[in-house]
Amino acid sequence: MKYPIKIIIGLGNPGAKYHYNRHNIGFLVIDALAEKYGASWQKKADRETADIEINGEKITLVKPQTFMNSSGKVIPSLLKQGLTANNLLVIHDELEKPFGKVEMKTGGSHRGHNGLRSIMEQCGADFHRLRFGVGRPQNKEDVPDYVLSNFGKDEVVEPLIENAVKMIEEVI
């Protein structure tokens, strides 16, 4: 199934200390897309953007620089360009999926994910998502520390990122 994607937003937190965190998998996947297509990042006030072309379609990659809980702040300016939620693909970490399970989904709830909540506040829930499973800690109170911790040595992420890039290419 092809999606009318014009913008791909990778969710994460800016700054080197967050780079390899579970919560930053959106940034890691979008960085892999930019690298594969030879794009260079342009800094703007609240985001970094890069333009690529996949299967003949011009796509703008976006990394919000507002921290995860305020990711939706980039949405109003995108919607002013005539885009709709249906033109967005958001890449995010997913606690409800086991580590390494990657899947596409359209719509749904935020299930407590503050980055998704922030985006939904700006454009509703009818955007496309690439959900990257990071697993869940046993205790709910450990979730904040868990998502802000780095992937473990036994969690080999690079092949999964490559798989996520292929999944994106298949739907555009």
DSSP string covering 53-102: EETTEEEEEEEESS-GGGGGGGHHHHHTTT--GGGEEEEEEETTS-TT-E
Which helix (H) or strand (E) covers residue 42, if one does? Answer: strand 42-43
* C-alpha to C-alpha distance for 21 and 126, rounded to whole angstroms: 27
19, 23, 92, 128: the catalytic one is: 23
Answer yes or no: 23 catalytic.
Answer: yes
Active site residues: 23
